[in-house]
Structure 1
Amino acid sequence: MRMSKLVGRTIKETPRDSELPSHKFMLRGGFMRQYSAGIYGLLPLGMRCVSKIEKICKEEMNAVEGQEVRMPCSATRELWEETGRYQTFGKDMMKFQDRHEKQMVLNPTHEEPVVYLARTEITSYRQLPVMMYQVQTKFRDEPRPRGGLIRLREFTMKDAYSFHTSEEDLKQYYDQVFNAYNRFFKRTGCKNFVSVMSDNGLFGGRYSHEFQMLAPTGEDKLITCPKCKYSANEEISTSPFVTKKSVELSLDKVHTPNIKTIDALTKCLSISAEQTAKAVIFQTLEGIPVVSFVRGDLEVIDKKVRTLVKSEVVTATHDSIVKAGAIAGSTGPMGLNLNNCFVVVDYTIVKSNNLATGANEKDYHFTNFNFERDFYSKLNEVEKKKVIIGDIAAAREGDPCPQCNESLKETRGIEIGNIFHLGTKYSEGMECTYLDQNGKKQYPIMGCYGIGITRLLPAIIEESHDDRGPILPLPIAPYEVHLCVLNRKESIIQEKSEELYIKLTKQGIEVLIDDRDEKPGSQFADADLFGIPFRIILSPKTFAEGCVELKYRDNRIEPRKIKLEEIGNVLLTEIKDEYKKYNNV
């Protein structure tokens, strides 16, 4: 490719609102352009990178007997109503009417469409197990798009779905895909990635893993153990939090004027946050209040609450708080209207005693509250069904590991892939069945496997860049070699650069030639922004010596001069050896 013809100009200034290095460099380097919030188009350089990522991904999916399909980007309301997710998925789902006033959606994910396919094509156990995958555009009306291609509203994803006759068969295949993902990420040049346990959320199932690129700019907080390798997304992280019990004291109501926060309460009562019970109030999408309680020094994870109440939850409105019988700033378990709400209580509240908590009365709190004695034991059987006890607290750095008791560590990551156990949630919901060996109808057990194709490129740039631009791994770089031609106005340099470009291209090397009449500094600045691994510099000075200069974008070794007649073979060897680093996994 000739830079004089390349669509996509480089930008010298840092674009406004580009906080992440990947966002800044992909705009400045002409990899992409923004259309609107969370919606970007790829220019040729970015498209070549993403196409290479797709190719490697498809190779790994084919290696585990995946079959590529293409499902529609839109679907009818009725399809999503079969599983109930039309109502529960939330505002991320874009809904619209077609010209016939039929209710439609832009598929934010493809569980329902793929089960529709399985329902029409799979009838016998002899056809199982089977996996279908696609590389498809999805749309999610993300409320806070950020970081360029890191968090988008419209994005490209590889999603795969497997169908099985038994849990054992699914688990075996799940492990195969897990290994395929590790190979894929290594082949694309990812260095610092880990797999962590994650939340199944609205996808259902019993277990799942995320693949996270470790990066200080990542939006996900990860909790890890340096000793036993426990690792989890903060959303499902847990810890056997240290609790200190003492002799139960008598419940007492105290006047706490204008005290509405845990910090203010601890100062007022001269106690620590560990001696308080904090309330966080949510509501379901149907408007049912969900009042959660956790020890005052800890944070509530809303996705854990969602899992326990089996419904998406959002921050409660004033009306929901009133409906629950709660008083903002003084909410406690005692006095809530259990006919109108759910109460979710963290284990730390159950295991602690003599806590300070809200009295559901303005300017008053209780001290020495004990969950069993003062609240739970006084409920009737119907009311107890509205109280859910479980793990809703976030583990923190320094807390004991749930597996070995070592102190946990915090780090940050960018999610680049995930795999889920789905069970029969979707096959049952959509009446997708097959006949077993005895001719009896069964529901296939499902797994789901996703990779953020467009997100992976900026994630790799986040971990591999310098002050001048990205340092792209060879397998996903837009070109293998960048040929910079200095003082091209000299006829002999122009002639030799064209000969070299044609020769290298015929040898099967992907070459981008800078055939513009630009100054060396401008050419080198653009080359740095492109991040191409190998750079050849042809100038009157090097030509006079019968050489070109070979440089490496990652500066692994010092630049060196190579004879013009030898550069093709040298590059072929270098490129071959470089690919081995990624493919030998």
Structure 2
Amino acid sequence: MRYSNFFIHTLFDVPKEAETPSHILLLRASYIHPVAAGIYSLLPLGHRVAEKIKKILRDELDAIGGLEITMPVLNPAELWKTTGRFYDIGDELFRLKDRKDREFVLAMTHEEVVTDIAKQFFKSYRDLPVMLYQIQTKIRDEARPRAGLLRVREFFMKDGYSFHRDFEDLDAYYPRIFNAYLRIFARCGLKSVPIEADSGIMGGTGSHEFMLESPSGEDHFVMCTQCDYRANTEKAVGAKPSFQGLAGEAPAMERVATPQVKTIADLMKFFDISENHFLKTVAYEADGQLVLAVVRGDFDISETKLTNHLKAIHMTLASEDVLASKGLHGGFLSPVGLQGVRVVLDTSVEEETLYVAGGNEPDVHLKNVLYGRDFKCEERVDIAEVRQGDRCLRCGKGVLDIRRGVELGHTFKLGTKYTAPDSMDVTFLNASGSQQRVVMGCYGIGVERLMASVVEQWHDESGIVLPITIAPFQVEVCSLGKKQEVLDVAEQLYARLKEKYEVLYDDRDDSPGVKLKDADLLGIPVRVVVSQKLLKKEEVEIKVRQTGEVVFCPQKDLEAALEKILKGLEPSLEGLPYMPE
């Protein structure tokens, strides 16, 4: 492809709205163009990268028995009402009506449609197992689209759905999709970290996220320094150090006036104790019910863990009006003496430890509060956020290190969430002639997010550094200077190379500096330079973008040299943390 005939319009200045490396470089290198907040056009370079990612997805999913389908983006609301997600999902779901006033949604995921397909066609155990997948547009009304392609409102997603006779069959298939994901990310040049994850609105019995460690990531995950424990901070658990120190008989609980003493720091100074001897109480509304969550003062509440424990669909901080209706006061809450209010207590709160807690009235705190004596709680579960440096519960030796990352993909064991009687009620006739419920798995990867993640990992101060597997072109030929003999040789090399490789020939009438800067910005893996100086030696210059290595090669040996270089740039699939199949 000739540069002069291709659609490339690079930018010198950094766009004002761009902050992350991938956003800046994809805009500057003319891979994407913004249409609206969180909505982008893929320009020809970006389109070529996306198509190569899609090919890798198809290769790996077809290899494990996946069958590609295409489902509509416009879904009838009735399907989403059947599963309850029409009501459960908030503003992220686009809802609309057609000219006949029928309700529809724009699909952010396709569980309802694919489960309806299963209900219509999977009648016998002989029909199972099956894995259906698609690469289709998804629509999501993100509240805060950011970072270019990392958080958008419209995007391509590979979503796959497997259907099984029972949980054992799902468990047997799950490692195949898990390992296919590892290969997909590795083939795209990414070092992914599989972690245990929360299932969120997808539901199910278990899930994994595949993370790319990155300072631009919005997600946080923990890694043990000694064992293979990996988990999203929303799900992670760590050891909670004990502070039991009660010697002898516990002193009686005291009511203490604390006017103008409200913050934890002020209270610590007032009572002359550390934060681990406070009870931190936060009020929430969960599906219309008031709930008080209580953790030890040196921990924070994980709203995800709390939501999962409550099995709540909607949970927000309780308003002052809601608290007032129960005679409660923000800033002075505690579980002591409460009646008619649901309380969830974290496992960090122990017996034989004295605490300071709110007095459930303004400017009052309670001293020498003892769990088991002064208050009791039937719901005592882990609802605390894991902290940097907490000891690992799995091995008991390492500590948990919190890191930032970008989610590359997510796999779910959905189980019977969508096939249950109170959902879409999907059964099949088993070998014994009885009706049995279909068991499902679900697996997603965002195409544009994957593209942006590659740039987050592979870039330098000069521009993008794309892996050979997804680069829009494998080789770029640059002619430097306007001498006819230089142009003639460059034309000849271009004609030779394009028979075997995907080649971009920079035939522009521009200065060498402009051409070489643009070549580095675009990130094509190998650059071949033809110049007057090199012609005298009948050589060309080859630069490997990933390593910066420069070699000089006789023109006649160019194909052999490129073959060796390009082969060496292929990502390795060795040493991946495969799950036993």
Tell me: CA distance 1:160–1:569, structure 2 relative to 1, closer, same or farther (3 Å).
same
1:317 aligns with 2:319: yes
The aligned residue for residue 566 of structure 2 is 575
Q: CA deviation at 1:400?
A: 0.9
- After superposing the two structures, state which structure 1 stretch, 25-34 or 138-147, moved more: 138-147
DSSP-derived class of the 2:569 partner: helix
The aligned residue for residue 330 of structure 2 is 328
Tell me: CA distance 1:569–1:441, structure 2 relative to 1, closer, same or farther (3 Å).
same
Letter in 2 for 1:368: N
User: How far apart, in 2, do the equivalents of 1:483 and 1:200 lie?
Assistant: 48
Q: CA deviation at 1:314?
A: 2.6
User: How far apart, in 2, do the equivalents of 1:337 and 1:517 lie?
Assistant: 81
> Deviations for 1:255-289, whole angstroms, at most 9, x for unmatched residues?
111333322322221111111111223323x4333
The aligned residue for residue 380 of structure 1 is none
User: How far apart, in 1, do the equivalents of 2:302 and 2:572 lie?
Assistant: 40
The aligned residue for residue 403 of structure 1 is 394
Cα pair 1:75 1:105 within 8 Å, conserved:
yes
Cα pair 2:253 2:368 within 8 Å, conserved:
yes
Q: CA deviation at 1:317?
A: 3.0
1:516 aligns with 2:508: yes
- After superposing the two structures, state which structure 1 stretch, 573-582 or 117-126, moved more: 573-582
DSSP-derived class of the 2:542 partner: strand
Q: CA deviation at 1:39?
A: 1.2
1:412 aligns with 2:404: yes
The aligned residue for residue 217 of structure 2 is 218
User: How far apart, in 2, do the equivalents of 1:2 and 1:146 lie?
Assistant: 34
The aligned residue for residue 161 of structure 2 is 161
Tell me: CA distance 1:199–1:352, structure 2 relative to 1, closer, same or farther (3 Å).
farther
User: How far apart, in 1, do the equivalents of 2:45 and 2:205 lie?
Assistant: 40
Q: CA deviation at 1:352?
A: 6.7
The aligned residue for residue 290 of structure 1 is 291
2:384 to 361, 385, 393: 393
Q: CA deviation at 1:239?
A: 1.3
1:560 to 535, 546, 551: 551
- After superposing the two structures, state which structure 1 stretch, 356-365 or 319-328, moved more: 319-328
Q: CA deviation at 1:119?
A: 0.6
Tell me: CA distance 1:516–1:336, structure 2 relative to 1, closer, same or farther (3 Å).
farther
Cα pair 2:476 2:526 within 8 Å, conserved:
yes
User: How far apart, in 2, do the equivalents of 1:584 and 1:70 lie?
Assistant: 34
Q: CA deviation at 1:583?
A: 8.8
Tell me: CA distance 1:580–1:328, structure 2 relative to 1, closer, same or farther (3 Å).
closer
DSSP-derived class of the 1:171 partner: helix
Map 1:121-200 to 2 at 5 A: 121-191=121-191, 193-200=192-199
> Deviations for 1:193-248, whole angstroms, at most 9, x for unmatched residues?
21110101222222111100011222111111121111111001111201211334
- For structure 2, the residue ranges without an aligned partner over 5 or more in a row are 577-581
DSSP-derived class of the 2:491 partner: helix
Tell me: CA distance 1:432–1:518, structure 2 relative to 1, closer, same or farther (3 Å).
same
The aligned residue for residue 237 of structure 1 is 236
1:482 to 471, 476, 479: 476
User: How far apart, in 2, do the equivalents of 1:323 and 1:235 lie?
Assistant: 31
User: How far apart, in 2, do the equivalents of 1:323 and 1:80 lie?
Assistant: 35
The aligned residue for residue 63 of structure 2 is 63
2:448 to 435, 442, 454: 454
1:261 aligns with 2:260: no
Tell me: CA distance 1:12–1:404, structure 2 relative to 1, closer, same or farther (3 Å).
same
- After superposing the two structures, state which structure 1 stretch, 51-60 or 457-466, moved more: 457-466
Q: CA deviation at 1:18?
A: 1.4
The aligned residue for residue 40 of structure 2 is 40
DSSP-derived class of the 1:474 partner: coil
Letter in 2 for 1:254: V
Q: CA deviation at 1:584?
A: 10
The aligned residue for residue 504 of structure 1 is 497
User: How far apart, in 2, do the equivalents of 1:144 and 1:249 lie?
Assistant: 51
User: How far apart, in 2, do the equivalents of 1:583 and 1:58 lie?
Assistant: 21
The aligned residue for residue 381 of structure 1 is none
User: How far apart, in 2, do the equivalents of 1:553 and 1:17 lie?
Assistant: 27
Tell me: CA distance 1:68–1:322, structure 2 relative to 1, closer, same or farther (3 Å).
farther
Q: CA deviation at 1:71?
A: 1.0
- After superposing the two structures, state which structure 1 stretch, 471-480 or 242-251, moved more: 242-251
User: How far apart, in 1, do the equivalents of 2:305 and 2:36 lie?
Assistant: 33
Cα pair 1:83 1:430 within 8 Å, conserved:
yes
User: How far apart, in 2, do the equivalents of 1:5 and 1:40 lie?
Assistant: 23
User: How far apart, in 1, do the equivalents of 2:60 and 2:38 lie?
Assistant: 29
DSSP-derived class of the 1:426 partner: coil
The aligned residue for residue 545 of structure 1 is 537
Tell me: CA distance 1:551–1:352, structure 2 relative to 1, closer, same or farther (3 Å).
farther
1:426 to 418, 432, 450: 418
Tell me: CA distance 1:218–1:7, structure 2 relative to 1, closer, same or farther (3 Å).
same
Letter in 2 for 1:56: I
The aligned residue for residue 251 of structure 1 is 253
Cα pair 1:288 1:320 within 8 Å, conserved:
no
The aligned residue for residue 358 of structure 1 is 358
User: How far apart, in 1, do the equivalents of 2:327 and 2:84 lie?
Assistant: 30
User: How far apart, in 2, do the equivalents of 1:578 and 1:9 lie?
Assistant: 27
The aligned residue for residue 579 of structure 2 is none
User: How far apart, in 1, do the equivalents of 2:508 and 2:289 lie?
Assistant: 65
User: How far apart, in 1, do the equivalents of 2:75 and 2:82 lie?
Assistant: 12
Tell me: CA distance 1:8–1:362, structure 2 relative to 1, closer, same or farther (3 Å).
farther
1:308 aligns with 2:299: no
Tell me: CA distance 1:545–1:49, structure 2 relative to 1, closer, same or farther (3 Å).
same
> Deviations for 1:419-441, whole angstroms, at most 9, x for unmatched residues?
11111010111011111112211
The aligned residue for residue 368 of structure 1 is 368
Tell me: CA distance 1:204–1:581, structure 2 relative to 1, closer, same or farther (3 Å).
closer
Q: Identical aligned pairs, as a percentage?
A: 40
Letter in 2 for 1:201: G
Q: TM-score, normalised by structure 2?
A: 0.94
Map 1:341-356 to 2 at 5 A: 342-350=342-350, 353-356=353-356
Map 1:76-115 to 2 at 5 A: 76-115=76-115
DSSP-derived class of the 1:568 partner: helix
Letter in 2 for 1:85: R
The aligned residue for residue 5 of structure 1 is 5
User: How far apart, in 2, do the equivalents of 1:391 and 1:128 lie?
Assistant: 38
User: How far apart, in 1, do the equivalents of 2:227 and 2:190 lie?
Assistant: 23
Letter in 1 for 2:493: L
User: How far apart, in 2, do the equivalents of 1:304 and 1:13 lie?
Assistant: 44
Letter in 1 for 2:388: E
2:525 to 533, 548, 564: 533
Tell me: CA distance 1:472–1:491, structure 2 relative to 1, closer, same or farther (3 Å).
same
Cα pair 2:426 2:437 within 8 Å, conserved:
yes
Cα pair 1:332 1:357 within 8 Å, conserved:
yes
User: How far apart, in 2, do the equivalents of 1:512 and 1:545 lie?
Assistant: 24
Cα pair 2:254 2:368 within 8 Å, conserved:
yes
DSSP-derived class of the 2:349 partner: helix
Aligned length: 569
Runs of 4+ in 1 over 4 A off after TM superposition: 582-585
- After superposing the two structures, state which structure 1 stretch, 130-139 or 570-579, moved more: 570-579
Q: CA deviation at 1:336?
A: 4.4
> Deviations for 1:395-437, whole angstroms, at most 9, x for unmatched residues?
1121110112222212111100111111101011101111111
> Deviations for 1:164-210, whole angstroms, at most 9, x for unmatched residues?
1121111111111111111111111113x211101012222221111
User: How far apart, in 1, do the equivalents of 2:153 and 2:88 lie?
Assistant: 19
DSSP-derived class of the 2:2 partner: coil
- After superposing the two structures, state which structure 1 stretch, 560-569 or 27-36, moved more: 560-569
State the superposition RMSD in angstroms: 1.8
